[in-house]
Amino acid sequence: MHMKLATLAAVLATTFSANPALAQSCSTKGTGPTYPVTKKVDQTDNYHGTVVADPYRWLEDANSAETKMWVDAQNKVTQAYLAAIPQREAIRQRLTQLWNYERYSVPGKEGGRYFYTRNDGLQNQAVLYTLKNLNDEPRLLLDPNKLAADGTVALAGTEVSPDGKLLAYSIAASGSDWNEIKLRDIETGKDLPDHIKWVKFSSTAWTKDGKGFFYSRYDEPKEATKLADVNYFQKLYYHRVGTPQSADTLVYDRADQKEWGFGGRTTDDGRYLIITTTKGTAPKYRVSYKDLSKPDAKVVDLIDNFDAGYDFIDNVGSVFYFSTDRKAPKKRIIAIDVSKPAEANWKEVVAESADTLAGADIVNNQLVLEYLKDARSVVRVVSLDGKPVREIALPGIGTVAGLSGKRGDTETFYSYTSFTSPTTIYRLNMTTGQSTVFRQPKVAFNPADYETRQQFYTSRDGTKVPMFIVSKKGLKMNGQNPTYLYGYGGFNISLTPAFSPANLAWMEMGGVYVVANLRGGGEYGEAWHQAGTKLQKQNVFDDFIGAAEWLVENKVTSPQKLAIGGGSNGGLLVGAATTQRPDLFAAAIPSVGVMDMLRFHKFTIGWAWTSDYGSSENPDEFKALVKYSPLHNLKAGTCYPATMVTTADHDDRVVPAHSFKYAAAAQAAQAGSAPILIRIDTKAGHGAGKPTSKQIEEVADRWGFLSRELHMNDAAVTAAGAK
């Protein structure tokens, strides 16, 4: 494929197919905000014969004084605009009220102790507690709120030694993916000197004797550019308690494979270290193991190609149980005896079903299986030879998480949530199958006032796609309902029902909340995922646009009342939908989005996303990418929806340059008076570990922005805030 510069406009134009029947008038009445002047530079790149301009390349340098001045200037414009919205303060106050409820994690048990986190309501970070008996008074073990006065240091992970004596805990500062691991004596509550750095995308796996653990790390980066430099050559190490990190033992690496990543897990019986090797974000793995009972045992490759996903569940002696999509796109359970590992000897324990297998563990010598049935949870228990035992009764259409433990445990815990049910923690008796409430929060609202319905609609190519529509009861189909359509559509990630005080506040304001289960996600297995990747990525945008069209055609809302939102890959979704159908939406909020589809692989872990997106370095994939890349499909003289781009200065997953460049280009292209703003948070990252206070402020800005741009009923918004 060799295209001349003159043909680029024609290639880009093929992605825009506005429906005149839905088109909004391009209003130039009034004046939008006055934006800072963003300089353009003469930067071009030649992609397989096509020359593409990149005039805002200088914004990729987040450390330059010039970029920092631009960030400050943009934030001043955005904050001034938001401050002039009279309902914003009332919304913030109501969000604070709704957020102020107890939230618990699913308990885990190790060494005769239970561990779980609790947030009393408005704490910036959840606090870790332990107790020996479920009826005991919980004892505070670790309060992350004391690690930083502003709550920007978060607990990123915990792992307790098998004897229950030591806690390995990971912390992340300002939302960065970089973690540090520290050790705490559980009895005394005091930290040990051990300090592990440069950890990223890692588990922590203790040996049975509690003398050390396995973890994954990268080489030490350059301090000045650690939030942007590409991450290659991950390595798996063993750390022995009481020794410096410099003495850690390298267990596994591949100097010939810079893109391979390694995750270590020890079996509950302590005999094996399971090493799962990944390449990018594709759910296709290699699996190796090391016999820890033999001091000089070598790492043995059990599955030595990337042909499918293999999620290790547990072992019974030399028999390893896996959940896999090998010859089963919706997954099945297999058993592999490592003494005779050839595929001809694999045994199918649970066959693929019509529903998607989303999780599995062995508890009480039984397999506990979580399935997704049209994006909602179903839990089934079967014997180790696959015979049905029971289905666990759930409260309604919702999502469960947890259901883990050890093979000999007779109990497990799980959480249940739905769009209108705050997350409740249940204890499941594995002998009787009965669930009892362990912790149930109380939120100041009446769930009976709201309803959830699941609607299937037809996408552009005839595919049936589901979406959840949540609102107050008695929704009037008059086309006047302010509606927020949310989506993701990528990386095999499933969007399932979940409670959110933010979304509850939106519905109190009279809004409708909609979640579309787009291709590219994992709701219907690997085939559904693959149908939204690489050369088929346009399917994801078509699905999202199809959801919006259904909502308009069925008078749930109208283009003048419809907003779209999404984060990360969902930010890309919003950017692509905005550029392809600017007539269909009144407002758009792309958060921490991947906006430059030609250069995403050049920063931090972006190279790993080529398994979903493809790469501009491949001619055919470049042709697909340039057709939908949000940054490259903004067209001068177009009336775009009111847009508030959100990002953060410490986002080292999707570097903020994506949002910087997109916002600058969108401001330059906008022909109408609708605002194009960018909200740049400080001491924050991609989203994980964000303090409660920052979450509330961000949501207040989001709903405040939409209340103005969708011309929401002032009385309804104010009344919601006054509750």
Q: Are 541 and 580 in contact (CB under 8 A)?
A: yes
- d(C-alpha 367, C-alpha 357), whole Å: 12
Query: Among 308, 322, 202, which residue's Cα sits nearest to residue 265?
Result: 202
What is the Cα–Cα distance from 158 to 179, expressed in whole angstroms?
12
Active site residue 239: no
Q: Is 351 exposed, middle or buried, given 0-12, 13-18 or 19+ CB atoms closer than 10 A?
A: exposed
Determine contact, residues 242/257, Cβ cutoff 8 Å: no
**What residue type is assigned to position 538 of the chain?**
Q
How far, in Å, are 362, 367, 547, 704 from residue 385 at the CA level?
12, 9, 42, 55
Kindly state the tokens that stand for 426. Answer: 């249940």
Q: Which residue has the tokens 């949310």?
A: 486
What gap in Å lies between CA 453 and CA 468, rounded to an integer?
6
CB 675 within 8 A of CB 81: yes
Q: Quick check: helix, strand or coil at residue 336?
A: strand
Q: Which residue has the tokens 């009342």?
A: 561
Q: Is 634 helix (H, G, I), strand (E, B) or coil?
A: coil
Beta bridge partners of 41: none
Q: Which residues pair with 681 in a beta bridge?
A: 648
What backbone phi and psi angles, to 5 degrees, belong to 721? -70, -25
Catalytic residue among 239, 529, 632, 686: 686
Q: Which two tokens stand for residue 46?
A: 């030649």
Phi, psi of 644 (to 5 degrees): -125, 105
Task: Tell me, rounded to whole angstroms, the distance of Cα 9 from its chain centroid.
Answer: 34
| Catalytic entry in 415, 418, 459, 568 | 568
Instruction: Decide the pairing of beta strands 332-337 and 464-472.
Output: unpaired
Would you say 507 and 586 are in contact if contact means Cβ atoms under 8 Å apart? no
Report the 10 Å Cβ neighbour count for 162. 17
Query: Tokens 């609202």 label which residue?
Result: 445
Select from 396, 363, 364 the least CA-distant residue to 470: 396
Please say if 686 is a catalytic residue.
Answer: yes
Question: For residues 661 and 647, is the Cβ–Cβ distance under 8 A?
Answer: no
Q: Where are the beta strands (DSSP E) in 443-574?
A: 450-458, 464-472, 483-486, 512-516, 562-567
3-state helix, strand, coil in the chain (%, to 5): 25, 35, 45
Token readout for 106 is: 């699913």
- Active-site residue numbers? 568, 686
